[in-house]
Structure 1
């Protein structure tokens, strides 16, 4: 049985790996009903992508430094992109444009928290996909914004990350799905009184019909889709398969949804069948390393 921290992190990584073979495929042009391999990137089952690499890079920095150190986290991101650290097979096969440009700015001497693009077209999902570890630590909204800004500096990206962290924390407080989503939205509205209209479309997106849900790499679409999958399914497996079968940015939508679902069913699953399938975890590349890092992270958080 995974502890709550490992359930959240493996929730991200397993979802990521399930989606990797189907990335960029058009909705309803395929059917995903299990964790498989090959596909888009021609990689074996259990291979995770940049979503998980950057999540692990963030965790490793927090464990080693004992706190949030944005310069150190950015150094880990550089190690991932430049030297294939935090990867399953010593190879970087997937990186978003905004993230790539941000790390290049860092390599050229830009201050870490100023590296993320600030234009409206810089609102990809590359910060949202890696932000879950901050839900586990005692950090402020300012710190969440700072970690987001390492690669994505626009307010829309920062608010999406903040809302996601709020939802994850509500799950860990024992709220049900409706409460976790609605209470997080109220907290976000209290924090940001002048909410951008794009962000406002997130509220209630979990009640949409499937045809209304978009699953692109735009951070708003990714968040909407992940929340919809989380809310409208009754187990981790169902959540991930639902996310992947939306098509398009399959790995990231499944990773973002999987983080919440992994947490929720660890704490609220009536039996193990609702939690992350053991046979999926068994396929994950470098799972022993991930378990070890999760255990170190949990020890740090628990004092």
Structure 2
């Protein structure tokens, strides 16, 4: 499983870095200016060097480092690492993430700040993809442990993105990754079983992808969106990650969808990395990303470590504290 586990994190980083320079551009504009984006580009959106990762990978690294350093899921430590990263003045950070991390920096508890912000947000700005983009380390750490995977995925999402679509979106992505890593015949179907209590809109979007994977529906029937909404991001990322013929193809096609390119491609890359393994990711991409060596080491650690889940986190989830209504 080692190559596939490492592939999850490196695939995420490759998708993030490949999509970063064309983020917010539409598909036709990207095609006209660059053709298929096959190589890491410099400048572009955010004006960074080729191979630069964004908040997607940086926050996933916060999660992975916390798991690897502590040997268990510690939401307080994860939140602290997010705040430390926030203090570094990142060039790319979502509005909700920034607002919540500011509150955490000022002393609000990890399990209250995100929920409180969510309660005051209008529909349309309350269910972004800012937690699903970073959650993949849990899919490695808790592969084969479905209850722990669900708990960690939901609790970690709540730190900044408490909306149930975000919580259960993380469960579906991590369940799919875990299924791929453990050789489950239908990893997305198994993940949907884990999220059977999740929002109907999220279930429907992912079931549409599953129907294509099974061959019962045609890809032409699926209209993919490229927004930062967690439901459409997850649908597009899963589709490209699960149906492409190569890891490179999955990531390139996700970038060419346009819109929120770095996050859609990061999700697709994590899934494709689990399917095909790190060895199938282009060397030219990996060489362009400064963090490749650390990401590889973290993937190996999470694959081999016994990661535990504190009873206090299980109790918070069991109490219904995170059972919000979209």
TM-score of the aligned structures, taking structure 1 as reference length: 0.87
SS of the aligned residue for 1:36 comes to: coil
The 8 Å contact of residues 156 and 199 in structure 1, kept in 2 or not, is answered as no
* Residue 152 (1) aligns with residue 158 (2): no
Residue 264, structure 1, aligned to residue 275, structure 2: yes
| Structure 2 match to 1:25 | 25
Q: Give the one of 72, 78, 82 matched to 1:77.
A: 82
Measured in 2, the distance between the counterparts of 1:278 and 1:23 equals: 23
User: Which residue of structure 2 aligns with residue 227 of structure 1?
Assistant: 238
Quick one: structure 1 residues 291 and 169, their matched pair in 2 at CA, closer, same or farther if it must change by over 3 Å?
Answer: closer
Contact 2:254 2:264 (8 Å CA) reproduced = yes
2:97–2:160 contact (8 Å) kept in structure 1: yes
How far off its partner does 1:11 sit? 0.8
Q: CA deviation at 1:64?
A: 1.3
Which of 165, 171, 191 is 2:174 aligned to? 165
2-side partners of 1:72 and 1:221: how far apart? 30
Please report how far the alpha carbon of residue 174 of structure 1 lies from its aligned counterpart in structure 2 after TM superposition.
1.2
Query: Are the structure 2 counterparts of residues 211 and 145 from structure 1 closer, same or farther at C-alpha, using a change threshold of 3 Å?
Result: closer
* Residue of structure 2 in register with 1:239 after alignment: 250
Q: Distance in 2 between matches of 1:183 and 1:83?
A: 39
Aligned CA RMSD, in angstroms, stands at 2.3
Residues of 2 paired with 1:104 and 1:282: CA distance?
A: 34
Q: What does residue range 1-303 of structure 1 map to in structure 2 within 5 Å?
A: 3-30=3-30, 31=35, 32-83=37-88, 92-116=90-114, 117-118=117-118, 119=121, 120=123, 121-138=125-142, 139-176=148-185, 179-189=186-196, 192=197, 195-205=199-209, 207=212, 208-209=219-220, 212-266=223-277, 275-301=280-306
Question: 1:183 deviation in Å?
Answer: 2.5
3-state secondary structure, aligned to 2:65: helix
8 Å CA contact retained: 1:113, 1:147: no
- Rounded to whole Å, the distance in 2 between the matches of 1:101 and 1:203 is 33
In 1, distance between residues paired with 2:51 and 2:138?
25
Q: Structure 2 vs 1, CA of residues 210 and 217 (structure 1 numbering), >3 Å: closer, same or farther?
A: farther
Which blocks of at least 5 consecutive residues in structure 1 are unaligned?
Answer: 85-91
> How big is the shift at 1:256?
0.6
Kept in 1: contact 2:132–2:157 (CA 8 A): yes
User: How many Å separate the matches in 1 of 2:306 and 2:272?
Assistant: 21
**Alignment correspondent of 1:87:** none
Q: CA deviation at 1:43?
A: 1.4
Aligned structure 1 segments of 4 or more residues deviating by more than 4 angstroms = none
Q: Secondary structure at the match of 1:15?
A: helix
- In structure 2, relative to structure 1, the CA distance for the partners of 1:225 and 1:99 (3 Å cut) is same
CA distance in 2, matches of 1:224, 1:184: 13
- Distance of 1:295 and 1:211 partners within structure 2: 35
Alpha-carbon distance in 2 for matches of 1:2, 1:47:
25
Structure 1 residue 50, shift from structure 2 partner = 0.1
Deviation at 1:2? Answer: 6.6
